[in-house]
Amino acid sequence: MKLWQKGEEIDKLFERFTIGDDPILDLEIAFYDVLASKTHARMLGKIGLLTGEEVEQLERGLDSLQAKIEKGQFTIEEGIEDCHSQIELELTRMLGEVGKKIHAGRSRNDQVLTALKLFTKDELKLIAKGIDQFFELLLEKSEANKDVLMPGYTHMQVAMPSSFGMWFGSYAESLTDDLILLKAAYEIADKNPLGSAAGYGASFPLDRDFTTKDLGFAHVNVNSAYAQMTRGKMEKVAGYAIAALASTLSKFAMDVCLYAGQNYGFFSFSPKYTTGSSIMPHKHNPDGFELVRAKCNKLQALPTELSFILTNLPGGYHRDLQVLKEHFIPSMKIVRDCLEVTYYMTKDLTVNDSIINDPKYSLLFTVEEVNKLVLAGTPFRDAYRQVAEKIGSGSYQPDYQLRHTHLGSIGNLGNDRIKAAFEEVYKFFK
C-alpha cells in the first residue's frame, strides 16, 4: 500500500514506471531522511502535537533505522515507492499508532527536498576536501618544478617557453575558481525547506526556526512556495559547480595524456597507474586519465541535463522532479572518484627535466630575442622583423637564459598569492 493509496488497484506497468530508480537512488539519501525525521519529531513534541514519550519512542525507532542504514542493511521493499515511505512503514511496524504520527505537518515534497539538501551539503564538503588535497599537491609540484622549462603551445604549435611550475600552478589556480562556485552551491543548499510541506505550509504551528537550527542549516527557506521552487534550482546550481570542476579535471587529464605520449615525452607514469595491451608488449596506457577525461566530459553536461528536465515547469511540485535524482545523485560520487584518482596518479607523475634541450624547441625563444632588442631601444615592430629575418636565413640562435620577473611569469609564479586566495575560500568549508 502506498502512502497516498486509497484502496484502488494500481496497474503494475504504471507502478514500475512511476517508481523508477527511486528504490536504488534513495538509499543514498535515506540517512538524511532519518535525521530530518528525528528533528521533525522533536519539533512536533515542542509544539504539543506529540507527547514527550512519543518523541522518545520515535527517536529510538529512528535510531535503529539509522543503524541499519549505516550497516548497509536498509532496503526498500518491492512495491514501496521510496525511502520516505519505507521509513514511515518501518516506524509504524515498530511503534504502531505512534509511527503513523510522524507525517503530521509535512509532505514527501519537503521530505525529499530536505534530505537532498542535507545530502548535497555533505557531498559538497567532501568534494571541497578532495579539491584541497589536489590543490596542495599541484602547488607542491609547481614549486618543485618552477625552474624546469617546458614548451608552451598556441594552436597546437610551439609558441613560447613555459615551465612545469607554471603548468601545475595554472591548474591550482583553476581549482580556486572551482571552489568559489562550490561555495555558492553550498550556500544555496544550506537553507531549510522543512515545514513548507507540499509548498503551501500547514495549519499546524510548526517551528521552522527550531528545525533549521536542529538540522544545522544556516538559514530557512522562508516562503513555502519558494522552498518548493528550490527543488531543481539547488541541483542545477550544484551541477554548475560540479561541471566547472569537471572541466578543470578533464583538461588536466587531456594535457597529461598528450604530454606523456612518446611524441612529447614531458611526463612518465608510474606503471601501477597504467594498463597494458593484449597484443603490444611495450604498452603502458594512461587509461585512468582517459577515463577521468570521459567521465568529466559527461559531468559537464549535467547542468544541461537538469535544465532540460526543468524546462517550462510551472511553480509547485511535479513528478518530473523525480528524474533529477537519476542524474544528480550519481554525479557526486563520480566527481569525487575522479578527484581522488587524479590526485594519486598525479602524485606519481615524473617530469622530464631536460625536455627543453631538444633542438625542435629552439624557436620557443624567438620572443626573448625580440624583447632584448626592444629593451635596447629598437621599436617592437622593427625588432620583430629583424628576428623573423634571422629565422628565415637560418642565423637565429636561441638564448636559453630567461629573465622573466612580472607576476605570473616563469620567474615569478605568485604561488603564495594563489595559495592565499584558495585558503580564503576554503576556510568556509572548514
Going from N- to C-terminal start, the domains of the chain cover 12-104, 109-149+164-356+415-426, 359-393
Residue that wins the pLDDT comparison between 145 and 20: 145
- Specify the DSSP element, H or E, that contains 227: helix 224-259
Half-sphere exposure of 284 (CA within 13 A, CB side): 11
Topology match between the domains 12-104 and 109-149+164-356+415-426: no
Q: Can you read off the three cell numbers belonging to residue 196?
A: 513548507
Half-sphere exposure of 199 (CA within 13 A, CB side): 12
Residue that wins the pLDDT comparison between 271 and 87: 87
User: Percent of the chain, pLDDT > 90?
Assistant: 86
* Per-residue pLDDT, 297: 98
Q: Which of 28-37, 310-319, 328-337 has the least mean pLDDT?
A: 310-319
Which DSSP string do the residues of 248-293 spell out, in sequence order? HHHHHHHHHHHHTSTTT-SEE--GGG-B--SS-TT--B-HHHHHHH
**Packing angle of the helix pair 224-259, 164-189 (nearest 10 deg):** 170
pLDDT band at 279 (very low <50, low <70, confident <90, very high): confident
* Per-residue pLDDT, 5: 52
* Per-residue pLDDT, 14: 67
Q: Could you tell me the fold of the domain covering 109-149+164-356+415-426?
A: Fumarase C; Chain A, domain 2 (1.20.200)
Q: What is the mean pLDDT of residues 79-90?
A: 90
- Which long-range CB contacts under 8 A does 139-142 form with residues at least 24 apart? 139/168, 139/169, 139/172, 139/415, 139/418, 139/419, 141/165, 141/168, 141/346, 141/349, 141/351, 142/166, 142/167, 142/168, 142/169, 142/172, 142/413, 142/415
pLDDT of 17 above 90:
no
* Short-list 191, 65, 67, CA closest to 120: 191
Look up the pTM and report it: 0.93
* Per-residue pLDDT, 242: 98
pLDDT band at 8 (very low <50, low <70, confident <90, very high): low
Q: Where are the alpha helices (DSSP H) in 47-107?
A: 52-70, 83-95, 97-100
Amino acid at 77: E
Instruction: Name the CA radius of gyration of the chain, rounded.
Output: 28
pLDDT band at 278 (very low <50, low <70, confident <90, very high): confident
CA-to-CA distance for 400 and 402, rounded, in angstroms? 6
* Per-residue pLDDT, 7: 57
* Per-residue pLDDT, 4: 43
* Per-residue pLDDT, 79: 80
For the stretch 203-229, pLDDT in tens is 999 999 999 999 999 999 999 999 999
pLDDT of 19 above 90:
no
pLDDT of 357 above 60:
yes
Residue that wins the pLDDT comparison between 13 and 36: 36
* Per-residue pLDDT, 276: 75
* Per-residue pLDDT, 269: 85
Q: What is the mean pLDDT of residues 189-198?
A: 97
* Per-residue pLDDT, 401: 87
pLDDT of 18 above 70:
no
* Mean pLDDT score across all residues of the chain: 93
Q: What is the mean pLDDT of residues 341-351?
A: 96
Give the helix, strand, coil percentages of the chain, each rounded to 5: 65, 5, 30
* Short-list 328, 236, 336, 240, CA closest to 29: 328
Q: Which of 15-19, 102-106, 275-279 has the least mean pLDDT?
A: 15-19
Which DSSP string do the residues of 183-218 spell out, in sequence order? HHHHHHHSEE-TT-TTTT--SS---HHHHHHHTT-S
Contact residues for 206 (Cβ-Cβ < 8 A; gap 6+) = 43, 47, 105, 195
Q: What is the mean pLDDT of residues 55-69?
A: 97
**14: Cα separation from own chain's centroid:** 34
pLDDT of 47 above 50:
yes
For the stretch 366-407, pLDDT in tens is 999 999 999 999 999 999 999 999 999 999 999 888 889 999
pLDDT band at 81 (very low <50, low <70, confident <90, very high): confident
* Per-residue pLDDT, 174: 98
- Please tell me what DSSP assigns to residue 424: H
What CATH architecture is 12-104?
Answer: Orthogonal Bundle (1.10)
pLDDT of 10 above 50:
yes
* Short-list 132, 33, 124, 135, CA closest to 332: 124
* C-beta of residue 178 within 8 angstroms of C-beta of residue 131: yes
- Specify the DSSP element, H or E, that contains 38: helix 30-46
